[in-house]
């Protein structure tokens, strides 16, 4: 089994509230995150505005908190040790921190603190704003050629996410991204769409975020994972060197499609997504359509999984 954790974009006000209300171990996670970052993040998640929650510095620790609350409930309320079921863990962008926490590499308070710093650093790294856009319906090679054609010394656009067959995200300066979008449409892309983000993530315009993240990660105790992590930047099973992998992730593409194919090539046939939304199982369905897919994002789905847990 591949256990995966979602990234930014699936956040919504009220996410995780039903689990918080139902289980003490979930409440403990949200309170621990609040304390770690000295912020009533749980109040914002449950009662705040969408505008507040989608801010990168809030969305990132919030989504991690929801994922780890679900993991804790599985483990402490239902006696389900997910590490014993997993062949690999993986997380999409910020979800990689959730994966590291679930696999025992970093503590929950450390994950919350780093993600708060990561969110602020990414937001402030490129004051010009930049842009990201999804391109649907083009082969990866064609999309990569377009990105290459639209980059020069001053204007930069890179592949930020290789999400699934026929779905990529590009990132860079606004001018270069707009040019690439136009070229993608003229190359018969089914759809191109600007994303609502606060910066051009997963490209070299994020280099100014590296300094604060290096300082933050230096303070973290990284332990050996209970199961290997398929890292975003290598699409390979990793058991060490996580600090460097997390730094590279800021400025390099998320190789999600390749990560799924790696798991498939290593005898994985089912995927469990833990956290808000169902985006990652949707990507898996397009890339490895024969897999069995399961989502845990509510008290009902927790109970359903626990009933079938052997």
Query: Do 159 and 150 contact (CB within 8 A), yes or no?
Result: no
Same domain, 76 and 107: yes
* Same domain assignment for residues 43 and 177: no
Instruction: Out of 154, 172, 197, pick the residue that ends a domain.
Output: 197
Residue 301 annotated among the catalytic residues of the structure: no
Tally the residues of the chain.
310
Same domain (yes/no): 161, 109: no
3-state SS string for 110-175: HHHHHHHHHHHHHHHCCCCCCEEEEEECCCHHHHHHHHHHHCCCCCCEEEEEEEECCEEEEEECHH
Of 7, 284, 249, the residue nearest 165 (C-alpha): 284
Task: Give every residue of the chain whose pLDDT is below 70, as ranges.
Answer: 310
Check whether residue 92 and residue 215 sit in a common domain.
Answer: yes
Shared domain for 25 and 96, answered yes or no, is yes
| DSSP H or E segment with residue 238 | strand 237-238
Beta-sheet pairing, 157-164 with 167-172 = antiparallel
101 and 137 share one domain: no
> How many CA atoms, within 13 angstroms, populate the side-chain half-sphere of residue 156?
19
Which pLDDT belongs to residue 153? 77
In whole angstroms, what is the distance from residue 138 CA to residue 189 CA? 5
Query: How many CB atoms sit inside 10 A of residue 153's CB?
Result: 5
Tell me if 264 sits within 8 A of 291, measured CB to CB.
yes
Helix (H) / strand (E) element for 36: namely helix 24-37
CATH code, 183: 3.30.70.250
Determine the structural domain holding residue 180 and report its residue range. Answer: 131-197
- Same domain flag for 221 and 112: yes
Confidence (pTM): 0.97
CATH number at residue 280: 3.40.366.10
Point out the catalytic residue in the list 42, 164, 202, 259.
Answer: 202
pLDDT at 310: 60
Which of 93, 98, 151, 164 is the catalytic position?
Answer: 93
Q: What is the pLDDT of residues 91-127, one digit of tens each?
A: 999 999 999 999 999 999 999 999 999 999 999 999 9
Active-site residue, 202 included: yes
Number of domains in the chain: 2
What is the four-CA torsion angle of 189, 134, 256, 11, rounded to 10 degrees? -150
CA distance 202 to 197: 12
With tokens 């009533």, the residue in question is 40
């Amino acid at each position: 089994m591949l256990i995966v954790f979602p990234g930014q974009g699936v956040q919504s006000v009220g996410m995780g509230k039903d689990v918080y209300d139902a289980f003490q171990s979930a409440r403990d996670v949200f309170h621990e995150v609040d304390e770690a970052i000295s912020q009533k993040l749980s109040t914002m998640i449950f009662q705040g505005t969408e505008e507040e929650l989608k801010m990168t510095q809030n969305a990132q620790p919030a989504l991690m908190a929801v994922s780890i609350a679900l993991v804790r409930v599985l483990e402490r309320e239902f006696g389900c040790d997910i590490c014993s079921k997993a062949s690999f863990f993986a997380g999409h962008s910020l979800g990689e921190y959730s994966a590291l926490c679930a696999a025992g590499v970093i503590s929950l308070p450390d994950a919350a603190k780093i993600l708060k710093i990561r969110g602020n650093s990414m937001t402030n790294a490129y004051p010009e704003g930049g842009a990201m856009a999804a391109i649907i319906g083009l082969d990866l090679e064609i999309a990569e050629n377009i990105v290459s054609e639209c980059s020069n010394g001053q204007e930069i656009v890179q592949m930020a996410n290789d999400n699934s067959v026929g779905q990529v995200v590009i990132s860079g300066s606004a001018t270069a991204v707009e040019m690439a979008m136009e070229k993608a449409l003229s190359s018969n892309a089914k759809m191109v769409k600007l994303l609502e983000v606060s910066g051009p993530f997963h490209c070299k315009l994020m280099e100014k975020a590296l300094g604060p993240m290096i300082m933050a990660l230096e303070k973290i105790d990284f332990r050996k994972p209970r199961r290997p992590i398929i890292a975003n930047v290598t699409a390979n099973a990793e058991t060490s060197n996580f600090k460097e992998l997390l730094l590279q992730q800021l400025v390099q593409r998320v190789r999600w499609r390749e990560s799924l194919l790696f798991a498939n090539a290593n005898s994985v046939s089912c995927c469990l997504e833990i956290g808000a939304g169902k985006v990652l199982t949707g990507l898996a369905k397009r890339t490895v359509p024969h897999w069995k897919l399961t989502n845990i994002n509510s008290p009902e789905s927790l109970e359903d999984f626990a009933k079938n847990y052997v």
